[in-house]
Amino acid sequence: MTAETVDRLSKELLAPEGFSSYQEVHQWLTTCCEVKVAYRTVHQWTKYRLKGKLKVPRPVSEKQKLGAVEELKKNSHFLSKPV
């Protein structure tokens, strides 16, 4: 991978929308940068060399009521007081 490609990838990883999987990073490199590299190379560059984080939200239980987290934060004396 060229320095220009690595620079573009690092900027793209910092974007708020980011990537949700390494396969998505691999497809982006293939289509946008016209770089053909192995999936393992993409994973190593993204995770270890560029220290990139994938933008994947944490799962939420289907049973959880809407607004339950906000209610807990509002009513909890541990979370409401500054440390």
Q: Residue 27's CB: how many other CB atoms inside 10 A?
A: 13
Is the distance from CB of 20 to CB of 13 less than 8 angstroms?
no
Please tell me whether the overall predicted TM-score, pTM, comes out greater than 0.75 for this model: no
- pLDDT at site 62: 82
Count of other CB atoms within 10 angstroms of residue 75: 9
Q: pLDDT (tens digit, 9 = 90+) per residue, 45-80? A: 999 999 988 887 777 788 888 888 788 778 777 655
Residue 36 has pLDDT above 70, yes or no: yes
DSSP 46: I
Task: Tell whether the model's pLDDT for residue 12 goes beyond 80.
Answer: yes
Among 30, 31, 59, CA closest to 42: 30
Neighbours of 54 (CB within 10 A): 14
83, pLDDT greater than 70: no
